[in-house]
Structure 1
Amino acid sequence: MRILIAPDKFAGTMTAAEAASAIADGWRRAREDDATAELPLADGGPGFLDVLEAALPGAARRTVDARDPLGRPVTADYLRDGDTAYVESAATCGLHLLTAAERDPRRTTTYGLGQVLAAAVEAGAKRVVVGLGGSATNDAGAGMLTVLGYTCRDLAGEAIPYGGAALASCTSIDGLPRTRGVEFVAATDVDSPLLGPHGATYMFGPQKGAQESDLPFLESALTNFAEIAERDLGPAGASGWPGAGAAGGLGLALFLLGGHRASGAKLTCEAVGLDAAVAEADLVITGEGSFDAQSLRGKLAAEVAAAAASHDKPCLVLAGKSDLDEHPELAGVHSVAGLLGSVGEAMRAPVEGLRALAESVARDWR
């Protein structure tokens, strides 16, 4: 059999390339005669640039001095391919840049992302594709907008502080964008709106360090900012557009800059030639750290499953943990936590656990 292995990263434990290698190793333990092909993927979150760099031989990395979610110095790369610059938002405002104790979306900012975007614009890019995912922020891109020419002001006319909590005090936004007519593309890993139960705060805030008691206030702050932003910058209704809630509301900020949304998963899958690779395979395997309801809202696993279904090829998901036992387009969903008995055991040795899961599934596959 020809096995195509096309996973996303396993957040916090493995890159997509490491996950693909672990699955391939485990599969060959059980079925040494099968041919495995590894195709690491990304959906806009961490690993976005790595996947695109491998797929775009003419692209070159450029490094920018910027700030992390708490304002500390950090270096971040963007990828330049012709007139297009590819930026990974997680490089400056990613959750992985903070310790567990530092995670607090009331304080974290997207200012550093603005610095990278400004550098790409000043270097002459005509199109900037921003991969959104894995963020530690919930500030609707207000910090980013500050770097790009806007000032968010309070009732006294003073610039508001950075962070998601400060959005509650915003009463006006003024300024002119220093973006030189660049086309912005929000490459999102989810299609969530800004507000509501599937929005930035309630769906993703807890994983960024927000306490249950913080959520109503953060939602109220985002609501206030969205109303002011749509009034002063437009377009009206942008906060309800699919993807506006991606990366703590960075999707909305890019819409305010005249940008539009593209599926990060679809963009990277097209760049690496997923469709052609699926056509050559007998079985497709994808995976991610946590396979759950969010996975069905524009994330990588759903894109791979759809590609497999379009060619009438079976597709399996191997995940670290899973809240979904099945999906109409999947031949099976398996998890390391299910194999080993708990999430704790799965996290203890994640690479070997994923190898063992792949071996177990391979032995039973018919």
Structure 2
Amino acid sequence: MRILVAPDKFAGTLTAVEAAEAIATGWRRQAPADELDLAPMADGGPGFVDVMHTALGGELLVVTVDGPFGDPVPASLLVAGGTAYLETAQACGIHLTGGERGEQATTTGVGQLLAAALDAGVDRVVLGLGGSGTNDGGAGLLAALGATADADLGAGADGLAGLSQVDLTAARARVAGVELVAATDVDSPLTGLFGATKTFGPQKGIPEERLPAVDGRLEALAAVTDRRLALEKGAGAAGGLGFALLLLGAQRRPGLAMVAEVVRLAERARAADLVVTGEGAFDFSSRSGKVPYGVAEVAAEALRPCVALAGRVLVGSREMRALGVESAYAVVDLVGEERALAQPAEALAELAARVARTWSR
């Protein structure tokens, strides 16, 4: 059999590349004659650069930028074929904030990372959005590229208090002539009931009682820049970082679809007998632009069965099939939570070997 292995990261334990290799290792133990085709996936969030590097090759550049609270953090960008690929979570990710102080967290480091890509002489920059700990409407990014205002754009949502004027001239000049692409699977507008703050603010440490005030600050940012763009799908991605990129002329593209295109997922699925995907927690939110659902859709179009391996499986068989997945298997059910966290690669390999007994000919 030919098996296409196309997992996302297992958040906190394995990158997508490591997960794919672990699944392949376990599968070969049980079915050494099977041919395994590894296609690690991402949706624009953490792991995006790693996956693109695996697919495209190219040169990785490491720079130091300001983290969400101003402390220096390392971040990498991939330059391949005249395009730079950035992972914004490396500069402002929730893993750097601990899910706290969302009102103070800034996207300044993302702007610095984008500036480093521009300095590399590329003519196209793709920014993967996802996993951010920020909620500043991308104000920090704009400031890092030269935007000015009558408030502190680099101090998170807190710094936007009293904002009444923003000048984007220098920031727009800085990116002139370069194609910008915001890769995200979040459809949220910038503000409102389904906007960045109301939807994602609580997980970033913004207290419930503060949500209206913080949303109002992003509304003020939209009012002095472009209210129409604030309503666009994806404007609320990464705490409004999508909005800042739209202000600079970026085009928004679904991150998962972009990765699928680069790795030729549809073509490889048609050549396979079975598609295996996975992620840390497989639940019904997987339908919201997450990798397993996207991979399962591609498998269905290719008329190939798809199974999922996950750290945890939190859906029943009916919901699973609604997501296009034939069966889903959990690492914790096989080895327990303690070992799943302590030895994630080996535990996932053991699960893959178990699944191969059922699915390999």
Match of 1:224 among 220, 224, 241: 220
Are the structure 2 counterparts of residues 84 and 317 from structure 1 closer, same or farther at C-alpha, using a change threshold of 3 Å?
Answer: same
Question: For the residues of structure 2 that align with 1:184 and 1:209, how far apart are their CA atoms?
Answer: 30
User: Can you give the 5+ residue segments of structure 2 that lack an aligned partner in the other structure?
Assistant: none
The answer on whether the counterparts of 2:143 and 2:154 sit within 8 Å (CA) in structure 1 is no
The answer on whether the counterparts of 1:191 and 1:298 sit within 8 Å (CA) in structure 2 is no
Are the structure 2 counterparts of residues 12 and 216 from structure 1 closer, same or farther at C-alpha, using a change threshold of 3 Å?
Answer: farther
Matches within 5 A, 1:128-277: 128-154=125-151, 159-160=152-153, 162-176=155-169, 177=171, 178-196=174-192, 198-230=194-226, 236-277=227-268
Structure 1, 213-222 or 119-128: larger mean CA deviation: 213-222
Structure 1 residue 340: deviation in Å? 5.6
Task: Give the letter for the 2:41 counterpart.
Answer: L
RMSD: 2.5
Q: CA offsets, 1:67-100, max 9 Å, x none?
A: 11111122322222343221111221122334x3
Task: Give the letter for the 2:166 counterpart.
Answer: I
Q: CA offsets, 1:176-199, max 9 Å, x none?
A: 122223221001142333334543
1:316 is paired with a residue of what secondary structure?
A: strand
Match of 1:315 among 285, 292, 306: 306
- Per the alignment, residue 72 of structure 1 pairs with 71
- When normalised by structure 1's length, the TM-score is 0.87
- Per the alignment, residue 5 of structure 1 pairs with 5
Task: Give the letter for the 1:312 counterpart.
Answer: L
Are the structure 2 counterparts of residues 277 and 76 from structure 1 closer, same or farther at C-alpha, using a change threshold of 3 Å?
Answer: same
The answer on whether the counterparts of 2:17 and 2:50 sit within 8 Å (CA) in structure 1 is no
**Alignment size in residue pairs:** 353
Are the structure 2 counterparts of residues 64 and 345 from structure 1 closer, same or farther at C-alpha, using a change threshold of 3 Å?
Answer: closer
Question: For the residues of structure 2 that align with 1:121 and 1:61, how far apart are their CA atoms?
Answer: 14
The answer on whether the counterparts of 1:189 and 1:300 sit within 8 Å (CA) in structure 2 is no
Are the structure 2 counterparts of residues 291 and 202 from structure 1 closer, same or farther at C-alpha, using a change threshold of 3 Å?
Answer: farther
Q: CA offsets, 1:263-302, max 9 Å, x none?
A: 1111122112212221111110111122334432222222
Q: Percent identity?
A: 48
Matches within 5 A, 1:108-127: 108-127=105-124
Question: For the residues of structure 2 that align with 1:259 and 1:29, how far apart are their CA atoms?
Answer: 46
Structure 1 residue 337: deviation in Å? 4.0
- Per the alignment, residue 59 of structure 2 pairs with 60
Question: For the residues of structure 1 that align with 2:30 and 2:298, how far apart are their CA atoms?
Answer: 26
- Per the alignment, residue 96 of structure 2 pairs with 97
Task: Give the letter for the 1:81 counterpart.
Answer: A
Question: For the residues of structure 2 that align with 1:78 and 1:311, how far apart are their CA atoms?
Answer: 33
Task: Give the letter for the 2:179 counterpart.
Answer: E
